Amino acid sequence: MPLLHFVQSIDGYVTNEGIEVIAQKLELATAEVTAVSTFYTQYKSKPVGEYHVGICTNTLCAVMGGDAIFESIKEHLDIENDGVTADGKVSVEHIECNAACDYAPVVMANWEFYDNQTVESAKALVDGARAGNPPAPTRGPSRLVTYKEASAVLAGLDDGLAREGVQVGEPTLLGLKLSKEGKQ
Mask: binding to other proteins, 130-149, rule CB under 8 A, as x and -?
--------------------
Position 26 contacts other proteins (CB under 8 A): no
Position 48 contacts other proteins (CB under 8 A): no
Q: Of 1, 10, 25, 32, which lies in the binding site for other proteins, with binding defined by CB under 8 A?
A: 32
- Known binding residue 61? Answer is yes
Q: Of 10, 17, 26, 30, which lies in the binding site for other proteins, with binding defined by CB under 8 A?
A: 30
Q: How far, in Å, CA of 147 to CA of 155, rounded? A: 12
Position 24 contacts other proteins (CB under 8 A): no
Position 81 contacts other proteins (CB under 8 A): no
Q: How far is the CB of 68 from other proteins (least distance, A)?
A: 24
Q: Which of 82, 78, 54 is nearest to 66 (CA)?
A: 54
State how far the alpha carbon of 29 is from the alpha carbons of 33, 44, 159, in Å: 7, 19, 32
**What residues does 56 pair with on adjacent strands?**
95
Q: How far, in Å, CA of 144 to CA of 123, rounded? A: 16
Q: How far, in Å, CA of 165 to CA of 96, rounded? A: 25
Looking at residue 168, its amino acid is V
Q: How far is the CB of 100 from other proteins (least distance, A)?
A: 23
- Known binding residue 9? Answer is no
Subset of 1-20 contacting other proteins (CB under 8 A): 16, 19
Q: Of 35, 63, 162, 166, which lies in the binding site for other proteins, with binding defined by CB under 8 A?
A: 35
Position 29 contacts other proteins (CB under 8 A): yes
Instruction: Enumerate residues 6+ apart whose C-beta is below 8 A from 82.
Output: 46, 91, 92, 93
Q: Which is nearer to other proteins, 45 or 167 (CB)?
A: 45
DSSP state of 3: H
Q: How far, in Å, CA of 170 to CA of 175, rounded? A: 10
Q: How far, in Å, CA of 99 to CA of 105, rounded? A: 11
Position 34 contacts other proteins (CB under 8 A): yes
DSSP state of 142: S
Show binding-site residues: 56, 61, 97, 101
Q: Which residues define the annotated binding site for [2Fe-2S] cluster?
A: 56, 61, 97, 101
Residues that bind other proteins (CB under 8 A): 16, 19, 28-35, 38-39
